[in-house]
Amino acid sequence: MELGYARVSTSKQDLARQIDALTKAGIEQAHIYVDKKSGATTERPGLQALLGYARGGDVIVVHTLDRLGRTVRDTLNLIHDLHQRGIGFRNLADPVRIDSTNPDDPMGQLAVVLLALFGQMERTYAVERAAHARTVAAEKGRRVGRPSVVTDAQLAYAIQLRDGGATIAEITAKTGLTRSTLYRHLPSRPPERLTAETALAEEKPSPSTAPAATLPAAGSSACPTCGYEPSARRDLVPHRADLATVWLHLDDRGRVREARHCARCQPHSHVLVISCSRCGDGPLVTGTGTGTGPGTGELPVPVRDWFKRHGWVMTPDPLCPNHI
């Protein structure tokens, strides 16, 4: 039986061209396995399902060899394992055709090595070209990455609301922007200049900063950090939305503390927004550790470990556990 395999690197790319070529080669669509994942790893659901289904005497057909993998080692290891199991392999559109009817043919083995090497070189050059283009664009002051979804008017309105004392929950409700988008685009607050008068005023208790002993009893809607719970029903929805955000605080010793904050005790320092490329949700990272400042592209190791423990995939684009 002939089994087809098609792969693209991201969810936004289209598999139609490969599936059409495999179908024209006589392979039923029910026997074509697909993946939308980088070829830099062999841990792909479609590929693993194909390898589990294939039996001795079957032939795996791909459009081009680099659909199996983009590294020489993985590709050669995979083809060797198929040969050991008595499973054939052939390609459709490479300049050099490979057919496993004679797996011991030295020219066929050479063709596999050359095509696998060309696939790895192409991936390496593509990564280098992309990195060079980003560097040149940044040096010329151009914006790199996906287009911004925030207009100048929205950002100006959000700044006006924040300067007027509005909470993040109120700003999101009035501007229609998500919390992650706001933290990514809002400029940081200027540092406060304290005088003796303002310092003394801050030391005096106020209704909004009452001692912990006088806080309302903690319930399902109480802030786990300060214990505040709204008394008015209309305030519960934005309050719970604030508590749904995960904050990762990185201290000067490189330790990560996970917390949730209401609008009253919510930090307002620089934050690093890590959002899922599918749903836009994700935690906010703040603290004194390296890698959390604006413009840094490398996450601190403790923060990367937190994402790994919670089931995130960070490459090539961040994906939360709900969208892997």
Cα distance from N-terminal residue to C-terminal residue, the chain:
31
Reference 14, options 30, 34, 32; nearest CA is 34
Active site residue 9: yes
pTM: 0.41
pLDDT at 26: 92
pLDDT at 213: 33
For 204-267, the three-class secondary structure string (H helix, E strand, C coil) is CCCHHHCCHHHCCCCCCCCCCCCCCCCCCHHHHHHHHHHHCCCEEEECCCCCEEEECCCCCCCC
Task: Provide the 3-class DSSP secondary structure of residue 248.
Answer: strand
Reference 284, options 274, 297, 296, 270; nearest CA is 274
Reference 31, options 7, 54, 10; nearest CA is 54
CA 160-161-167 angle, to 5 degrees, is: 145
Residue 116 burial (CB < 10 Å; 0-12/13-18/19+)?
buried
- Where do the H-state alpha helices sit in 216-313? 236-243, 301-309
- Buried b / exposed e across 51-65, counting CB within 10 Å, b at 16+? beebeeebbbbbbbb
| CA 127 to the chain's CA centroid | 18
Task: Provide the 3-class DSSP secondary structure of residue 200.
Answer: helix
pLDDT at 148: 59
pLDDT at 27: 92
pLDDT at 32: 93
pLDDT at 145: 59
For the stretch 124-164, pLDDT in tens is: 666 677 777 777 777 776 665 555 567 777 788 888 888 77
Q: Which of 9, 38, 221, 277 is catalytic?
A: 9
Where do the DSSP E strands lie in the chain? Answer: 2-8, 32-36, 59-62, 88-91, 247-250, 256-259, 272-273, 284-287
pLDDT at 291: 47
Going from the C-alpha of 80 to that of each of 47, 89, 118, 168, 261, the distances in angstroms are 15, 10, 18, 57, 54
pLDDT at 33: 93
- At 91, give phi and psi (nearest 5°): -115, 170
- Which residues of the chain have a pLDDT value below 50? 192-194, 198-199, 202, 205-219, 289-296
Reference 294, options 308, 313, 273; nearest CA is 273
For the stretch 164-213, pLDDT in tens is: 778 788 888 888 887 777 777 776 665 544 455 544 554 554 443 333 33
Q: Report how far residue 316's alpha carbon sits from residue 11's, in angstroms, rounded to the nearest whole number.
A: 11
* CB 112 within 8 Å of CB 65: yes
